[in-house]
Structure 1
Amino acid sequence: MIERLVPAAVRTRVAYGDELDRVPLLPEEEPAVARAVPKRRAEHAAGRACAREALAALGVPAGPIPRDDADRGAPVWPAGVVGSITHCEGYRAAAVARAADVLALGIDAEPHGPLPDGVLDVIHSTPEERAALAELTGKRPEIHWGRVLFSAKETVYKAWYPYHHRMLGFEEAELLLTEEPLLSGPPQGTFSARLLVPGPLLAEGVGPDVFTGRWIVHEGIVATVIAITAEPAGS
């Protein structure tokens, strides 16, 4: 699913079920899950395996992808590469791109089901967000819009964090979800995030005040992507 949402400059690898859960971790990756339970360790291994295959498709030598524990556990990508990893029950994925082509990249996947009670309060959904969710639910009640919102906010954080290196609170980004009317195929659409905190420029003249992304619901999974491409000078 992730591969349906990314621009051409991004390479992805997706695994369903436990397809890659038993791929061994490289020694440099082991410390991140040394004390993890088997399920968490398997998901971590599959995510790293997806990432290495995506890097190989990008033409980058697929070495270890350790976790930077000094930087909130963010993956350490090869020089000149941006990337993101996600996993949830039954789904693992990674996306990578050359930093010269993509300024910011984030992906997330969640099971397509109702959010547990109280989670909308935890993610500090704004009155505008709640009103939009209610309207969307009235039109398409079969889609769990709260889950789409949650996943989109996770993606905003993943795309934003490498430029600021601090937590972005759920309440610090206000999202607007829209659905694309399609004659066939899985439900999908776009979202825009208005960041309510200052941040650095992603590139000359490209601020992070508004991130835009895409979402899709397919085979029991919600997937969301932000990929901000680098535009040619003068465009």
Structure 2
Amino acid sequence: MSGTVRTLLPAYAAALESTRELTGPPLFAAELRQIADALPARRAEYATVRRVARACLAELGVPPAVLVRGADGAPRWPHGTVGSLTHCRGYRAAAVARTRDADGLGVDAEPCAPLPARVLAQVTSPVERAHLAELAAARPEVPWCRVLFSAKEAYYKVWYPVMGCWLGFDDAEVEFRPDGVTGTFVVRPVSGGARRVRRADARFDPVATGFPALRGRWAADAGVMVTAIAAPAGSLPRPVRPPDPRPAQAGRTATGTLRWAQ
């Protein structure tokens, strides 16, 4: 396992990645049940990202633990820890921290390629599209739209375990601060999302929750784009509203795929 993702997170987080499938140790019975009907490629993907996660837990001195998805699709972490999983073609990664150090972690990996135009229109605001145009003019070799998509995914992975409700792509905006090969960004909640009608509560305002803007980092290497966000302990609010009554909506991207399907 290598560690590009580790460079994007604070020292208190254990973060590892793998560019090949790992074959041991065996999965727990509960994990095997979750993928009993999956295709071989999906089973290998599921198993590898959990083996990477357990290696992260071991770095923190936490014994191997069952890492199954809950009813909402989000992975369940051992008591006293927070974490995040991600995978895309040829890449698996995990990050874990103790709750004494972090309120949340979010990591996301995407192919280092532009988004389809129809997806870009769904996941960005006019302000963001103007920002992306400026960035593309300065550094055209970077697929900024894909980095933006990934940054919002990472933010959602910090948001959802705390707030327990769906956050749309139009409920947050990203601002980049490019810096060489790696860079930083800030994701902040915004009011007045244009597609809020898809929510169970159309009056929901993410800004009013008190959930903060969060800074993250990104890097591109070997055809993969990785984003990471760490929320230090004490930086996030307690949930201010009950969980979204439509759990099936809680983890869906603008493309209709499960964000949490880890």
TM-score normalised per structure 2: 0.79
Q: Give me the whole-angstrom Cα distance separating, in 2, the residues matched to 1:200 and 1:62.
A: 38
CA deviations 1:58-98 (Å, max 9, x no partner) are: 101112111112xx111111101000000111110100000
* Equivalence for 2:31: 29
Q: Give me the whole-angstrom Cα distance separating, in 1, the residues matched to 2:215 and 2:40.
A: 36
Q: Give me the whole-angstrom Cα distance separating, in 2, the residues matched to 1:36 and 1:143.
A: 35
SS in 2 for 1:153: helix
- Structure 2 gaps of 5+ residues are 191-204, 236-262
* Equivalence for 2:182: 188
Q: Give me the whole-angstrom Cα distance separating, in 2, the residues matched to 1:122 and 1:24.
A: 40
Matches of residues 155-170 of structure 1 in structure 2 within 5 Å?
155-170=154-169
**Pairwise CA distance, 1:22:** 6.5
Greater fraction of residues in strand = 1
- Check 1:132–1:21 CA distance in 2 against 1; reply closer, same or farther (3 A cut): farther
Matches of residues 50-61 of structure 1 in structure 2 within 5 Å?
50-61=52-63
**Pairwise CA distance, 1:208:** 1.9
* Equivalence for 2:233: 230
SS in 2 for 1:227: strand
Counterpart contact for 1:164–1:200, Cα < 8 Å: no
- The AA in structure 1 aligned to 2:115 is L
- Check 1:54–1:88 CA distance in 2 against 1; reply closer, same or farther (3 A cut): same
SS in 2 for 1:62: coil
Match status 1:16 vs 2:19: yes
- Check 1:200–1:229 CA distance in 2 against 1; reply closer, same or farther (3 A cut): farther
- Check 1:12–1:200 CA distance in 2 against 1; reply closer, same or farther (3 A cut): farther
- The AA in structure 1 aligned to 2:138 is K
**Pairwise CA distance, 1:174:** 0.9
Provide the aligned C-alpha RMSD in A: 1.8
**Pairwise CA distance, 1:34:** 2.2
* Equivalence for 1:99: 99
Match status 1:79 vs 2:82: no
- The AA in structure 1 aligned to 2:164 is H
Counterpart contact for 2:171–2:206, Cα < 8 Å: no
SS in 2 for 1:104: strand
Counterpart contact for 2:102–2:231, Cα < 8 Å: yes
CA deviations 1:96-153 (Å, max 9, x no partner) are: 0001101111000011012123111222x11110011001111111111111011101
Q: Give me the whole-angstrom Cα distance separating, in 1, the residues matched to 2:211 and 2:57.
A: 26
- Check 1:3–1:156 CA distance in 2 against 1; reply closer, same or farther (3 A cut): same
Counterpart contact for 1:108–1:154, Cα < 8 Å: yes
| Higher mean C-alpha displacement, 135-144 vs 109-118 | 109-118
**Pairwise CA distance, 1:231:** 6.5
Q: Percent identity?
A: 47
Q: Give me the whole-angstrom Cα distance separating, in 2, the residues matched to 1:3 and 1:176.
A: 22
Counterpart contact for 2:103–2:234, Cα < 8 Å: no
Q: Give me the whole-angstrom Cα distance separating, in 2, the residues matched to 1:137 and 1:190.
A: 16
**Pairwise CA distance, 1:200:** 9.0
- Check 1:56–1:4 CA distance in 2 against 1; reply closer, same or farther (3 A cut): same
CA deviations 1:145-187 (Å, max 9, x no partner) are: 111011101001001100111111111111111201x4xxxx2
- Structure 1 gaps of 5+ residues are 202-206
Q: How many residues are paired up?
A: 218
SS in 1 for 2:97: strand
- The AA in structure 1 aligned to 2:81 is V
Match status 1:209 vs 2:203: no
Q: Give me the whole-angstrom Cα distance separating, in 2, the residues matched to 1:34 and 1:167.
A: 28
* Equivalence for 1:204: none
